[in-house]
Amino acid sequence: MDIATILSQIDLGSIALPAFQRGYVWNRDQVRGLMRSLYRRHPIGSLLVWVTETEQAPARGDGPLSPGYVKLILDGQQRITSLYGIIKGKPPRFFEGNAQAFTGLYFHLDEERFEFYGPVKMKDNPLWINVTELLQPDGMGKTIQRLYSIPELQPKMQSYLTRLQALDGIKHIDLHIQELAGADKTVDEVAEIFNNVNSGGTQLSKGDLALAKICAEWPDARDAMKMRLASWEKAGFSFTLEWFLRNITTVLTGAALFSALKDIKTAEFQDGLKQAEAAINYLLNMVSGRLGIDHDRVLGGRSAFPVMSRYVVQRGGKLKDAREQDRLLYWYIHSFLWGRFAGSTETVLSQDLRLIEQHDGALDRLVDQIRRSRGDLHIRPEDFSGWSLGARFYPMLYLMTRIGQAQDWGSGLPLSANMLGKLNKLQVHHIFPKALLYKHDYKMAEVNALANYCFLTQATNLNISDQPPEVYFEEIGRRYPGALESQWIPMDRTLWRLENYRDFLRARQELLAQAANHFLDELLNGPSKAQETEYTSVLSTSTAEVSEAVTQKEEIRQLLAWLEERQLPKPQLDFELCEPDTPAVLTIVDAAWPRGIQEGYSKPVALILEESEDAKVWASLLDYRLFTNLPSLYRYIEKEIIGDKAEK
């Protein structure tokens, strides 16, 4: 079948994309390479399609499919999507990705090469031909007419015409289509074939396969789930489709494995989606209202949510009182402090879900399970010896600030959740200034130690600036008695000196551990300060309010804006590099794409903005490509991911 016919079949709904296919990920280099091969009439491989009944076809997108049978592309999505975008001048209706990868492709008549539009090089140069314009039904005629009107091109016009015909003829190149057909072909079998033929690219996860089955019966399932994810994103909590599907699975079946959904009917799944959404909303409001964890950067333990969602739904969508809420939160906090779900997530989830099937004593069994694996649940000073905003005890430090009596050092006012307004967002403050510590040869892990962090309002943070503690602590103590102690500052003034920084860290770790144990004991045993109440919904909070709750490095903000402008995937911030299949943290990086920026086609990428030999070693051993500054990361993305070497 020739390329033009294949594209027409897409418009007619006779060829589509299966729901389990991920989005378009090719970059401009790959698009150029495809067009170069086609122009030279080199083979580009065959297509593999799954011929299945339209009524049962798990197709992506909301476009109508042709009646009877439809061909779903298993191998060749990137090639066909690129060709559709170039020839039709727009993405196909099943498209999901960055259309810039195939937008603005030009061909040079003399040099016979493809590049993407660059105004300095191409503007007013008739030898650069817009490929999309040429490939339109009347494009060849218009292009030839324009070239004939330029006298200086006439001596080589015959060569140009031959090249234009070769370029236009790409539409009529035949591609071999291998069909996979038969009523016996299940989604499972087809997905296995898909993984085999895409062994060098992005593989289907178990969640992809489960969602494909659901979409076969309910085509709008993916969009319905994405709508819920968008509402949580707006409130400052970023979750994945697979995470949400895991919650739905546990709510519906009490099992962690996606295979448990195999016999679930559409109506049941729709009901489970609503129940899971309500449970997640309830839990987010609970951790925000009781723990002060009100945005994504401090939400530890998201893998514990499927267990908690099941627990809440089992009890009719609401826990009976404040004591039960506190005891569930006690288990939740310990689950992320000790990395309960950092290894074999499905195995651990299955174990915990079995523990809550019997209502009586469910929370006791959950807590005992963690206690057995840990030996005890007592927090020790050395547990606060971690470093960076990605450390597991960072959320603990944040929640202690929000639920305790911590005071702002510029106003003496409490920093509790209900006292914060738009002008009083919390920012991370280095107690001993970073610049001062680096100047005196302290290493990155010491500079960014958790015990060197506290939280202040923006105005206070800016006012303190880079003053040493032995200077600004005296002023705070004089103006607001008790404010320093409220943030667990050791009051031995000799520890406020730079030369005693390491002793300061050890002393503050002691105070933090005492406070953490006191709060956790209160959650477990009471008396509780919590009131049985409907917490204020964090889901009504706007993105702008939440995003400034904790100061990000200015470079990280720049990176996120730069990526959004180019429609590139966001990284995971403060990412833990762990030993494979274990909860052991090797190092923490500022940002990471653990599956690659061009998912399935590029190496995992990590960014760390301050020198760390430790991070370099572990990133290398785990096969990450590590960057230590934004310019080098930008160059990598532009060259290897966007692949745009054309002059701008």
Query: What tokens appear for 485 in the block?
Result: 């102690």
* Per-residue confidence (pLDDT) for residue 51, from 0 to 100: 86
**Exposed (0-12), middle (13-18) or buried (19+): which is 173, by Cβ within 10 Å?**
middle
> Higher pLDDT residue, 188 or 319?
319
In this model, does residue 402 exceed pLDDT 70? yes
HEC assignment per residue over 84-107: HHHHHCCCCCCCCCCHHHCCCEEE
**Average pLDDT of span 378-389:** 83
Query: What tokens appear for 393 in the block?
Result: 């005890």
- Give a yes or no: residue 186 inside a domain: no
Cβ neighbours of 317 (radius 10 Å): 12
Task: Specify the residue for token string 């989005």.
Answer: 23
In this model, does residue 515 exceed pLDDT 70? yes
- Give a yes or no: residue 189 inside a domain: no
Among 44-48, 134-138, 223-227, 534-538, name the one with the lowest average pLDDT. 534-538
**Average pLDDT of span 213-234:** 85
* Per-residue confidence (pLDDT) for residue 540, from 0 to 100: 47
Q: What percent of the chain has pLDDT over 90?
A: 44
**How far apart (Å, rounded) are the C-alpha atoms in residues 582 and 341?**
9
My answer on whether 465 and 576 are in the same domain is no
**Average pLDDT of span 189-214:** 64
- The secondary structure of the chain in percent helix, strand, coil, rounded to multiples of 5, reads 55, 10, 35
My answer on whether 147 and 266 are in the same domain is no
- Give a yes or no: residue 196 inside a domain: no
Model pLDDT for residues 478-493, shown as the tens digit of each residue: 999 999 999 999 999 9
Name residue 473's amino acid: F
Cβ neighbors of 161 (< 8 A, separation 6 or more) are 144
Q: How far is CA 193 from CA 18, 71, 204, 257, 468, in A?
A: 13, 15, 11, 21, 63
Q: In the chain, count of helices (H) and strands (E)?
A: 27, 13
**Average pLDDT of span 69-76:** 85
**Average pLDDT of span 354-376:** 92
* Per-residue confidence (pLDDT) for residue 20, from 0 to 100: 67
My answer on whether 329 and 394 are in the same domain is no
Task: Specify the residue for token string 């002793």.
Answer: 503
> Higher pLDDT residue, 574 or 288?
288
Domain that holds residue 604: 552-641
**How far apart (Å, rounded) are the C-alpha atoms in residues 586 and 14?**
50
pLDDT averaged over every residue in the chain: 84
* Per-residue confidence (pLDDT) for residue 596, from 0 to 100: 82
* Per-residue confidence (pLDDT) for residue 548, from 0 to 100: 35
Model pLDDT for residues 257-288, shown as the tens digit of each residue: 888 887 888 899 999 999 999 999 999 999 98
Domain boundary among 344, 374, 404: 374
- Give a yes or no: residue 529 inside a domain: yes
Confidence of residue 553 (pLDDT cuts 50, 70, 90): low
**Average pLDDT of span 90-100:** 85
My answer on whether 124 and 33 are in the same domain is yes
- Give a yes or no: residue 646 inside a domain: no
**How far apart (Å, rounded) are the C-alpha atoms in residues 123 and 113?**
17
In the chain, how many domains are there?
A: 4
Model pLDDT for residues 317-356, shown as the tens digit of each residue: 999 999 999 999 999 999 989 888 876 688 899 999 999 9
Domain boundary among 318, 343, 374: 374
> Higher pLDDT residue, 493 or 402?
493
* Per-residue confidence (pLDDT) for residue 206, from 0 to 100: 66
**How far apart (Å, rounded) are the C-alpha atoms in residues 23 and 562?**
21
My answer on whether 367 and 454 are in the same domain is no
Domain boundary among 525, 544, 563: 544
Model pLDDT for residues 106-132, shown as the tens digit of each residue: 999 999 999 998 888 898 899 999 999
* Per-residue confidence (pLDDT) for residue 123, from 0 to 100: 87
My answer on whether 157 and 284 are in the same domain is no
**Average pLDDT of span 534-562:** 56
Task: Specify the residue for token string 């009719």.
Answer: 316
In this model, does residue 434 exceed pLDDT 90? no
In this model, does residue 528 exceed pLDDT 90? no
**How far apart (Å, rounded) are the C-alpha atoms in residues 424 and 443?**
31
Confidence of residue 647 (pLDDT cuts 50, 70, 90): very low
* Per-residue confidence (pLDDT) for residue 422, from 0 to 100: 39
* Per-residue confidence (pLDDT) for residue 591, from 0 to 100: 86
My answer on whether 425 and 448 are in the same domain is yes
Confidence of residue 186 (pLDDT cuts 50, 70, 90): low
My answer on whether 505 and 557 are in the same domain is no
My answer on whether 240 and 355 are in the same domain is yes
Confidence of residue 209 (pLDDT cuts 50, 70, 90): low
In this model, does residue 157 exceed pLDDT 50? yes
My answer on whether 474 and 426 are in the same domain is yes
- Give a yes or no: residue 250 inside a domain: yes
* Per-residue confidence (pLDDT) for residue 421, from 0 to 100: 44
In this model, does residue 600 exceed pLDDT 70? no
My answer on whether 583 and 475 are in the same domain is no
Tally of residues, the chain: 648
Angle at 403 between CA 400 and CA 407, to 5 degrees: 80
Alpha helices by DSSP H, listed for 26-156, are 28-39, 77-88, 119-122, 131-134, 139-148
My answer on whether 500 and 405 are in the same domain is yes
Query: What tokens appear for 296 in the block?
Result: 């994504």
pTM for the whole structure: 0.69
**Average pLDDT of span 383-394:** 77
User: Residue 134's beta-bridge partner residues?
Assistant: none
- Give a yes or no: residue 194 inside a domain: no
**Average pLDDT of span 157-165:** 94
* Per-residue confidence (pLDDT) for residue 585, from 0 to 100: 59
First-last CA distance in the chain = 37
**Average pLDDT of span 232-240:** 87
Task: Specify the residue for token string 């939280």.
Answer: 455
- Give a yes or no: residue 647 inside a domain: no
Q: Which of 292, 308, 284 is nearest to 235 (CA)?
A: 284
* Per-residue confidence (pLDDT) for residue 409, from 0 to 100: 94
